[in-house]
Structure 1
Amino acid sequence: MKRPGPLVTLLAGLLLGLFMLSLNATTGTESASSGYREQTPSPAPKKSATASPSLRSPSPAVAPSPSRKPVATADYAGRTDDDSASVAVAVRDGKGIAYFCDGHAKESWLKGDVEDDGTMRLTGSYGAELNGTLRQDRRIRGTVEVAGGHYAFTADRATKPSGLYRATATVRGAKIDGGWIVLPDGRQVGILTRAGKPTAAPGITPETGAVTVDGQQLTARPVTP
């Protein structure tokens, strides 16, 4: 039997070498591909659109509305700056009633609201108007418009029996309507209207309100809004 010749041996070695080269190339490619996939970084997590509470802008603080202290219940009485008439104001629960009187023939009853800041606008018949402010020194400073006249006044806080009084009745068939202002110094100013005709009012007893009109005893009572 003849041994294979050198040419056959060389050809077999060449084929084996080609096979090994092809196998190494394939293995290397797969290894490199596998290694590249392993090194691919994972995608970064998405950030939430909602901001962290600690990073949110604080809501602006809402300042509380200032408290307003209601005007105290009280009576006030005083004179006009020209000393020609008297003015009294009674304040109750945000309401006010006032009386302007010169003690002879000119008078007016006025009423309206008293605001928490002490301002007031009281109105009466025939365009009468009182505008005033209750000040911290416990007095009312203002003006009164009555029958075409303009009067500035100051009314101090009044302590009973000072204040504002009124009496209405029918005496001997005539309608009686009387108004009185008792000033802090004890002086009285009032007008008694009898059947529509005003005259100076007789004095009252402030402690009881007793007053005698045409021989008949009446009672003048404190006025409240």
Structure 2
Amino acid sequence: MKRYAPLLTLGAVAVLGGGLLAVDVFTDPGRAAPAAAAAPVVPEPTGEPAAAVPEPPAVVESVWAGRSSGDEVTVAVAVKDGRAVAYVCDGDRVEAWLEGTLTGADLALTGADGAVLTGTVDETAALGSVSVGAGTWPFAAKVVQAPDGLYDGRVNVDGVAVRIGWVSVDGTVTGGARAAGEVVAAPPLDPAAPDGVVLDGVPVTVSLVDGAAEGVAR
């Protein structure tokens, strides 16, 4: 019996220690294990897609002028900081101002009576298609510098507001005008002396157009 006395003593100590540990856990559960970490807060989806960021214009500021592939109309497009202005005329019965945007390399312009111009541009050329009235024409235009370009004329004759447009490319000028909703002949324009334009004896205010021009579409 004496040989087993130390073993019995150790066993009693182990049983006693286990009992004390059990009592401690039940009386203070927080000591059984560390508290669980708080779950991270995840924002709930709103269901609304993120707003698309418009592609910056491929060309910041430029003017292109040219003609349709069949030489039916003259076309000029001016852009500045993503805004675009265009004018189309044939020197006779076709005449339209359009305005819109240049997003990336893509032009998208509209005008009165369903006029539409779409196309692409780069640093040297603009290619696309324009529709005015019943006509639709593919066109090609090149970069031009003043005095070539797009001109806008304003004048009031006998109480009637007249809007005039001219496209000058390679020194050749084609123009059109509209008075009281009707297309009329445009007075001649010398790009080297735009202040000399007169319509029915009344001086015309003429400006060279860029893409920031206001109120070009009717």
* CA deviations over 1:34-71 (Å, ceiling 9, x no partner): 57799xxxxxxx9xx99xxxxxxxxxxxxxx9995433
Q: CA deviation at 1:166?
A: 1.2
Q: CA deviation at 1:175?
A: 3.2
Distance 1:35 1:172 in 2: 123
* CA deviations over 1:158-186 (Å, ceiling 9, x no partner): 21122111112112444322111111x11
Q: CA deviation at 1:151?
A: 0.4
Distance 2:181 2:56 in 1: 42
Query: Which residue of the partner structure matches residue 102 of structure 1?
Result: 90
Contact 1:78–1:87 (Cα < 8 Å) also in 2: yes
Q: How does 1:173-212 map to 2 (within 5 A)?
A: 173-183=159-169, 185-210=170-195, 211-212=197-198
Q: For structure 1, which segment, 151-160 or 65-74, has the greater mean C-alpha deviation from structure 2 after superposition?
A: 65-74
Distance 1:172 1:69 in 2: 45
2:145 corresponds to 1:170: no
TM-score, normalised by the number of residues in structure 2: 0.69
- For structure 2, the 5+ residue unaligned runs are 14-32, 38-51
Alignment partner for residue 120 of structure 1, among 88, 107, 110?
107
The answer to which structure, 1 or 2, has the higher relative contact order (CA under 8 A, 6+ apart) is 2
Q: CA deviation at 1:132?
A: 1.2
Larger Rg: 1
Alignment partner for residue 142 of structure 1, among 101, 107, 128?
128
Going from structure 1 to structure 2, the CA distance change for 1:170 and 1:106 (only over 3 Å counts) comes to: same
User: Which residue type is aligned with residue 78 of structure 1?
Assistant: G
Distance 1:207 1:216 in 2: 19
Going from structure 1 to structure 2, the CA distance change for 1:37 and 1:77 (only over 3 Å counts) comes to: farther
Distance 1:94 1:87 in 2: 19
Aligned length: 181
Distance 1:138 1:69 in 2: 18
Q: CA deviation at 1:143?
A: 0.5
Alignment partner for residue 92 of structure 1, among 80, 83, 106?
80
Contact 1:204–1:220 (Cα < 8 Å) also in 2: no
TM-score, normalised by the number of residues in structure 1: 0.67
